[in-house]
Structure 1
Amino acid sequence: MAEYEACALGIQEAIDFNVKLLKVYGDSAFVIHQLKGEWETRDHKLVPYQAYIKKLIEFFDDISFHHILREENQMADTLATLASMVQLSPHGDFPYIEFRCHGKPAHCCLIEEEKDGKPWYFDIKRYIEEKEYPQEASNNDKRTLRRLAAGFFLSGNILYKRNRDMVLLRCADAERLSKCW
């Protein structure tokens, strides 16, 4: 029901802006295939939603529905996260959101050069190799270093960062790529 409601709200907004040609992209295969007429809508709770969207479709010269995989739908996930954080005014006003594209992830712009000339991963690598902490490390720093080190893998002299999908990224390559992964 939430997926249908989100779809209906998006289509209503397009109608409010007098859009006549619309491509609807959604990561719910269930909703997209039902709206395309490829799948039957059997759940009696969903039938009114589908009927409502079918009425909205009449406002467009052309409308099409396209399924995209959830993992390819990062923008929708980001917008959903933002939407869950926004409080609407009693007047129903929507806050203005501005998007800017950067050539590299924004956190890369905040990374400063290391003052000691050592790479950013030096302490992690040294801890994995020798179980040795930096001299000035507090107990909290040591605990943080142990937690960080768990996300890395050392093979020979090469340090790799483990991603969630278990892909390994070589840290020296990451340094070359503006210290980002």
Structure 2
Amino acid sequence: MVRLGVLFPCLAKYIPKRAMEGLWAGKGIMFGHRITFSNKKTKRTWKPNVQRKEYYSDILERTVRVKLTTAAMRWIDKAGGFDPYIYHTPDHKLASNLGSQLKEEMKRRIEESNGTVKTPLRATRTQKRPFWWNEEYDKRARELRTMKLDFLPRSRDTLPPPPIECRSV
């Protein structure tokens, strides 16, 4: 499936045929201009970061070697693993023949197993949290929201220290 979509006035996206053989998560080759300080425009392309990786599928009971983008890797992590990503993502979002074939194969395997193989569960909200999240961070973030700061820190490393209580002697 080849499609052309305009993202910005000067950029266009093209999804090549080789994206059908992997999991590109809707990413494609983008075209645009490199603009210098003197406003000279030179044509250039932005290619997606495609990697080769092996994932083990519990449903298929084998490793699957896939070419996928780093965006697809993030989606797999958010979904809770390879099987939930393939099984629960709609075909139009997978946007690849490989993804559709794997999904059909998984569904067929689940039907043939007569209940021994279960459908993969989607990730819960707590599983979607970043690796550094903990209760203290959540409590500190709630305190910051109630303090009505003019700015909100971007990362956990830049959180301002807790307020110091001043006691008169």
Normalising by the smaller structure, the TM-score range is: under 0.3
Bigger radius of gyration, 1 or 2? 1
Higher helix share: 1
TM-score (norm. length: structure 1): 0.25
TM-score (norm. length: structure 2): 0.26
